Every structure is written in C-alpha cells, then in structure tokens.
C-alpha cells in the first residue's frame, strides 16, 4: 500500500504505523464480537505515543503527528487494518472528527481546555446532533433541541439519540437551534458542554451490531442545561456551516479506516485461497474464486482513488470536497461491505464462524451505510447537486446551487 507520491516523512509514518498495527495491536485484539477494554486501550495508546504514531491527524503543537488531510488516507488505512487500530492511535470516531473541528473553529482557550486532552487520549468526546423522530437525523432542518439566551450564557433543552461515544465521554459538542439574540442571528449553534454538567442526563444505550466505537450509542437529555457564553463554539447561528467542517472529513475518515479493514479481509481470503484445495486445485486457481478476488481488488482500488480525490478537494476547496465526500461515503460503504462479504464466501464455513474475524468485520461496516447520513440521503443530495450543476451550466443557476448548499448543509 506504499505510495511513491507520499512525502518521505509521511511514508515513514505510514510504514511505522503498519509495523505497529501488525506487531503490537493485532496481538491485543479482543475476540470477534467483543469490545476493546479500557485498560488495553490505554496501554496501546501509551505504546503508540512511544512509537511516534499517535494522533496522526492533529497538528504537532497539540500533540499529534501533523499530517495534512490530503495525506491522511494511507496512514488511516494502516490503522484500520485492525478494528481497534484507530482507537490505539486515537484517530477513531467520534473523537477524530471533533479534534478536526476544534482545531479549525475553537478559540485558543477552548483548544487548551478540550483539544489538548482529547489529543492526548486523557478524555473522550461525543457530537450531539441526531435526535429522535421527528427531530434532526439525515435531515438537519428538523433540529428541535433549543438554546435560549439567558444572563451569562445559554440554556439548552432537548433530547438527542444515537450519540456515539457519549458513555464515559468528558465533553460533548452540542448542536441546538437558537432564535435571534441581539446581534446574533437565528439558526443553529454549537456548544461545548462538559458531561458532568448537572443539566445533562445519559439515557438508554442503543445496542447495535458494531463494537468498535468506545462509549456506545446512548440517548442524551438536556434539561435546562446552562452553558456560559465561553462555551459557544465559533459564532452563534453558524452551526450548520461548522457542521460541514466536521462532517465532510469525518465521512471520509470512516471510509479510510474501513478500507483498511477491507484490505485485511481480502488478505485473509487470499491466504485461505492459497492454502485450501477444492476439486483438486487450489481455490485461487478456480475461476469463480478468481472472480470474487478480482472484483474485491477493483472495489478496493476504486474506493482508494475516490478517497484520494476527495481528500485533495477538502484540502483546497472544502465546499467541493464536502460534496464529493457524499460520493465517497456511498461508494466506499457499499464496496467495503462487498469485499468483506466476498472474503467470507471464499472462506466458507470458517468465514461465518468465530474461527475467523470476518463475520465481526461485517457487523462493524454494515452500519456505515446508515451512520453519517444514510446512503439514501446522500444519493438524494448527489442527484440534486448533479441537476443543479447542469442547470448552472445551461442557464446560469448559480443562485440555485448556492441555495442547495445551504439546504443540504447538514446531511450526515
């Protein structure tokens, strides 16, 4: 997976990450279907720091490795070769997306209070936007959680659900709807909220098929939750704009991590096809198996190319990159699942058993077609953008395209 176009310092990091995952992380993996325990997570993070591979995406001044977004992919894929690799390197969702958002939007004081310990792995975080129906989900326009201006700050009331990582997190980035207040416009605002705030109550944890995200996916309730003015992230009323700062790259890093797991799955299948015989020939020499292998290589390489294009766009044109991240999210989430499913088929009965980890990998990647915005919502956005671009080309519909950007600002 080396890349001759990767700058030498990042190729060196990729190589060291590859070695760390294979020699240190994979031997520490829990059994298929089990979760990474806190003691092992902390031990692996300490070893990752010592190996110089910790928090690859965060600037060095905050304790990371300082890799720019256009070069994240190969490092993240190496981390994702193990389902616990991103946690060991502290580049797992939702923390990774929150680190990126805080680095760009947060004040210096907020960075010192929240970003530095988050990068160090001494705290975890969550991002609270999704709500029970009919609240915000794939359509953020349904946002119902409210923030009301009060003396010295804001009072937040609302109900969030499926807030990944909330159980045990130290703080939360909350999206709430606000009315106009003074010179601040009506809209949506992001708030930094400590999880020990008396106005926060964790509700039922939603049990899902995936196990990789530490902290589960619980409900979170906000009951007259007071947040000081210093807790506003960025500017009041600009929450949907900031959401795109986070959600576009966060979709893409999911693609990167899971693509690493797809590569692991294909390697497992290739090893099995090399060793096992069927009808007097190694499986690798049978046409049906060769078809499965070839299609998986095509899916992996195509996904890799889409990720690379999107990452480069995000580096130079975040608006275009965010739109392209919908394409990447849809294609990669479906292609990665196909690769793992084919690997299971090649491995036969062992593929669906706990003798191999492939079935647990399928459980990890299947929710990705729903997380970060359902694929159907992204396909709707992709189609609308294609029509808008064509209209702009034909009759100068730039205003329509700008309006579409605003309408689709929070598809997640």
Whose tokens are 């647990």? That residue is: 360
Cβ atoms of 225 and 390 within 8 Å: the answer is no
pLDDT tens-digit series, residues 188-237:
999 999 999 999 999 999 999 999 999 999 999 999 999 999 999 999 99
The closest alpha carbon to 165, from 233, 228, 92, 227, belongs to 92
pLDDT interval class at 140 (50, 70, 90): confident
CA angle 259, 262, 264 (to 5 degrees): 115
Q: What is the mean pLDDT of residues 119-126?
A: 98
Nearest to 99 by CA among 245, 314, 216: 245
Q: In percent, how much of the chain has pLDDT > 70?
A: 95
Examine the pLDDT at 402 and tell me if it is beyond 80: no
User: Could you tell me the two tokens for 235?
Assistant: 């500017």
- Among 34, 44, 170, CA closest to 102: 170
Confidence of residue 246 (pLDDT cuts 50, 70, 90): very high
Assess whether pLDDT exceeds 80 at residue 397. Answer: no
pLDDT at 5: 77
Q: Which residues contact 136 (CB under 8 A, 6 or more apart)?
A: 129, 130, 142, 143, 144, 145, 175, 410
Query: Does 184 or 273 have the greater pLDDT score?
Result: 273
Return the minimum-mean-pLDDT range out of 54-58, 136-140, 300-304.
136-140
Q: List Cα–Cα distances, 93 to 275, 333, 375, in angstroms.
A: 36, 15, 18
Mean pLDDT along residues 117-132: 98
Q: Are 40 and 226 in contact (CB under 8 A)?
A: no
pLDDT at residue 125 above 80? yes
- Residue 412's pLDDT is what? 52
pLDDT-wise least confident of 40-49, 174-183, 330-339, 360-369: 174-183
The candidate with the shortest Cα–Cα distance to 19, out of 84, 75, 83, is 75
Q: What is the pLDDT of residue 172?
A: 98
Average pLDDT of the chain to the nearest whole number: 94
- Alpha-carbon distance of 343 to 348, in angstroms, equals 9
What are the pLDDT digits (tens) for 288-340? Answer: 999 999 999 999 999 999 999 999 999 999 999 999 999 999 999 999 999 99
Q: Looking at residues 95-117, what average pLDDT do you find? A: 98
Asked if pLDDT for residue 393 goes beyond 90, the answer is no
User: Is pLDDT of 80 > 60?
Assistant: yes
Task: Considering only CA atoms, give the Rg of the chain.
Answer: 22
Tokens of 407: 């309408």
Task: Provide the CA 220 distance to its chain's centre, in angstroms.
Answer: 20
- Structural domains of the chain, ranges and CATH numbers in brackets: 8-120 (1.10.540.10), 125-237 (2.40.110.10), 240-407 (1.20.140.10)
pLDDT above 80 for 364: yes
**Average pLDDT, stretch 268-277?**
94
């Amino acid at each position: 997976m080396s890349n001759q176009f990767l700058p030498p310092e990042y190729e060196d990091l990729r190589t060291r990450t590859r070695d760390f995952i294979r020699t240190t992380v994979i031997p520490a993996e829990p059994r298929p279907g089990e979760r990474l325990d806190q003691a092992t997570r902390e031990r692996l993070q300490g070893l990752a720091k010592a190996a110089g591979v910790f928090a690859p995406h965060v600037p060095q001044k905050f304790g990371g490795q300082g890799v720019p977004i256009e070069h994240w992919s190969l490092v993240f894929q190496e981390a994702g070769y193990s389902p616990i690799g991103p946690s060991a390197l502290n580049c797992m969702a939702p923390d990774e997306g929150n680190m990126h958002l805080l680095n760009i939007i947060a004040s210096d004081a907020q960075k010192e209070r929240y970003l530095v310990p988050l990068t160090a792995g001494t705290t975890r975080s969550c991002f609270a936007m999704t709500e029970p129906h009919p609240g915000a989900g794939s359509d953020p326009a349904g946002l119902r959680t409210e923030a009301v201006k009060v003396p010295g700050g804001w009072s937040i009331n609302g109900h969030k659900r499926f807030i990944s990582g909330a159980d045990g997190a130290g703080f939360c980035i909350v999206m709430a709807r606000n009315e106009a207040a003074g010179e601040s416009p009506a809209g949506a605002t992001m708030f930094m909220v400590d999880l020990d705030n008396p106005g926060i109550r964790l509700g039922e944890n939603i049990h899902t098929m995936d196990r990789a995200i530490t902290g589960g996916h619980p409900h979170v309730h906000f009951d007259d939750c007071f947040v000081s003015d210093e807790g506003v992230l960025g500017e009041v009323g600009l929450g949907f704009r900031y959401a795109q700062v986070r959600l576009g790259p966060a979709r893409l890093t999911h693609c990167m991590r899971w693509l690493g797991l797809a590569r692991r799955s294909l390697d497992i299948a290739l090893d099995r096809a090399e060793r096992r015989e069927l009808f007097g020939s190694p499986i690798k020499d049978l046409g049906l198996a060769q078809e499965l292998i070839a299609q998986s290589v095509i899916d992996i390489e195509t996904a890799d190319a889409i990720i690379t294009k999107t990452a480069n766009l995000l580096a130079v044109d975040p608006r275009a990159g965010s739109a392209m991240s919908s394409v990447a999210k849809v294609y990669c989430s479906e292609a990665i699942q196909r690769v793992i499913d084919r690997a299971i088929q090649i491995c036969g009965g062992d593929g669906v058993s706990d003798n191999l980890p492939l079935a647990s990998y399928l459980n990890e990647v299947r929710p990705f077609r729903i997380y970060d915005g359902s694929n159907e919502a992204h396909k709707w956005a992709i189609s609308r953008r294609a029509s808008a671009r064509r209209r702009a080309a034909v009759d100068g519909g730039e205003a329509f395209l700008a309006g579409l950007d605003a309408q689709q600002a929070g598809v997640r």
